Structure 1
Amino acid sequence: MTSSPTYEVTAASTSNVAQTDRYRIHYHDVGTGHPIVLLHGSGPGATGWSNFSPNIGHLAQNHRVIAVDMPGWGRSDTPNTTVGWDPVLDLMGLLDLLEIDRAALVGNSMGGMTSLGAAVRFPQRVSHLVTMGAPCPGANIFSPTGVSEGMKVLLQATREPSPENLKRLVQIMCYDQSLATDELAEVRYQAAIANRDHLDHFFAMFTNPKVPPFTEFFQLGSRVADITAPTLAIHGRDDRVLSYEHSLRLVSTVANSRLVLLNRCGHWAQIEHAAEFNRLVADFVGN
């Protein structure tokens, strides 16, 4: 495959908004070729741009790259009780508007959950599946003793978004603490406080028994074994949010799958090991 120069992209130059039949969704869109859809994780300040800024330009060399702010994050609408929260349906609605029949889905953490759900529920729409630091349905989804250390920090930062708590959040996400910069913490902090409704909605999923977290995902169960899309699981050996055992479970369940386990890597493989991540995804989707 011949590569073009990496796109010089900015958040502003790639910004777009779509109004689906469910919610208004903000996304970044750049490049041409087979679509790669980047789906961010959860937590305060998470957006398509903050999760994937080191990757978008590289992947856009040979692909159309779409980095989404899912409803409840970034500049997209906050989910409401009338429409409900179903990120898989929200993703399908956006792909329909963009006239994309099939795409490679690349999901970090919660974005990996959405990608898995889409591959089960809408297999004809998913050409390739890539997960990074993502859970796999099953017992003890966070850890055998309950919510993991990283999830505790994430929820604390959601309940009390402060510069200090966002700094703790980026620190626990990274193995290499030199990447947990004040600048990254500030970007996440500013994105978090831009919409308090987003934070309240996410926190309610863990505190309000009427709003159970990730209901659709938990219901996938054994259906994950039905996934036919070529699947690549990328996981940090030092992930303190979701153990790499989740990706081991995923590749033991999905027939056409493989695992890349990275030492000295936390929850954000696409940031901590950006160059390797970009090569892995570009080669995987290009073949």
Structure 2
Amino acid sequence: MLKQTYTAANVPTEFVESRGRTLAYRSIGAGSPLILCVRFRGVMDVWDPAFLDALATRFRVITFDYTGLGQSTGHATYDRVSMAEDAIDLADALGIDTFAIGGWSLGGIAAQVAAKRHPGRISHMILIGTTPPGKVAHGPEPVFFERALKPVNDLDDETVLFFEPESEKSRKATKASHDRINARTADRSPPIPQETFMRMLTESQKPDIFFDDDGYRDFLKATDIPFLVISGDHEIVFPPANWFDLVDTCPELHLIVLPEMGHGPQHQAPEFCADLIASFVSRIA
């Protein structure tokens, strides 16, 4: 009997018990492991299936819900160490020693924290639409907060938040990605209620978005872990210019800025971004 091959749209949710809470996760593909940390307000079902499926042709792609969010249990928090340890605990529970870690937006902060705390476990970092540690010169555009904190985001909000509304090509990509994400109708992780994400946002506030209280920027300068930063040229949350100062000081930094794209370039160009990541992991050691 042939083993069923799952896609992102139909793979069942699985669960592991770790340190007193249950972590919900999904796994597709059979290559080297890639664990993905999701964005603010995100659960497993905000990832574009086309991006995950394209990655799964080269990796074992693992997505998960942070503790207390979606289908995971425990106390929900946006504390970056807690989110980073979710990824490490999940890897431990699955018997994965070394893996590539990816993160989108807030998840990119979690990925960097995980790499600093457990450098021997991480082979590569993939950072999508996220920020470097410490004080940065370019902050989020006000429109981000106007849209991101609404109780429910509609298609127009998604266009502004994750794509480039001034580009016809990007606007069309919004609808295509939206439809792919919503094609999964069963076994979906519930969205995060407004009162929950607002509480977590308030509790996690620091002087800087990625407050550097533990040498995170120095870690990026000294690490031998290759890391790839993928950003849209109109990134309204974490402008790619904030990475420019690190190009000369971080020998393992690989920075790619994609035109006519916003905060979710992997959703506008899923196969292209997956190809970039696969080439980076396979050829950069």
TM-score where L is the length of structure 2:
0.80
Structure 1 residue ranges without an equivalent (≥5): 1-6
Q: CA deviation at 1:60?
A: 1.7
> CA-to-partner distance for each residue in 1:173-204, whole Å, 9 max, x for gaps?
1111223339829949x9796452xx433312
Show the counterpart of 1:47. Answer: 43
Which of the numbers 240, 244, 259 marks the counterpart of 2:240? 244
Q: 1:56 corresponds to which letter in structure 2?
A: L
> CA-to-partner distance for each residue in 1:68-101, whole Å, 9 max, x for gaps?
22225432235258x9971111111111001111
Show the counterpart of 2:21. Answer: 23
Show the counterpart of 1:125. Answer: 121
8 Å contact 1:36–1:106 — kept in the other structure? yes
> CA-to-partner distance for each residue in 1:137-168, whole Å, 9 max, x for gaps?
1214761xxx53353134422xxx23xx4334
TM-score where L is the length of structure 1:
0.80
Q: 2:159 corresponds to which letter in structure 1?
A: Q
Q: CA deviation at 1:126?
A: 0.5
Which of the numbers 183, 197, 200 marks the counterpart of 2:195? 200
Matches within 5 A, 1:183-198: 184=178, 187=182, 194-196=191-193
Q: What stretches of structure 1 move > 4 A for 4+ residues in a row?
A: 185-188, 190-195, 213-217
Counterpart check, 1:152 vs 2:145: yes
% identical equivalent positions:
23
**CA-atom RMSD, angstroms?**
3.1
Matches within 5 A, 1:193-232: 194-196=191-193, 199-208=194-203, 211-212=204-205, 218-219=212-213, 220-232=216-228
8 Å contact 1:117–1:217 — kept in the other structure? no
CA distance in 1, matches of 2:209, 2:82: 9
Matches within 5 A, 1:17-166: 17-21=15-19, 23-43=21-41, 46-77=42-73, 79-80=75-76, 86-140=82-136, 143=139, 147-157=140-150, 161-162=151-152, 165-166=153-154
Q: CA deviation at 1:265?
A: 0.7
Q: 1:21 corresponds to which letter in structure 2?
A: R
Distance 1:112 1:183, change over 3 A: closer
Secondary structure of 2:50's aligned partner: coil
8 Å contact 2:229–2:256 — kept in the other structure? yes
Show the counterpart of 2:278. Answer: 282
CA distance in 1, matches of 2:172, 2:209: 36
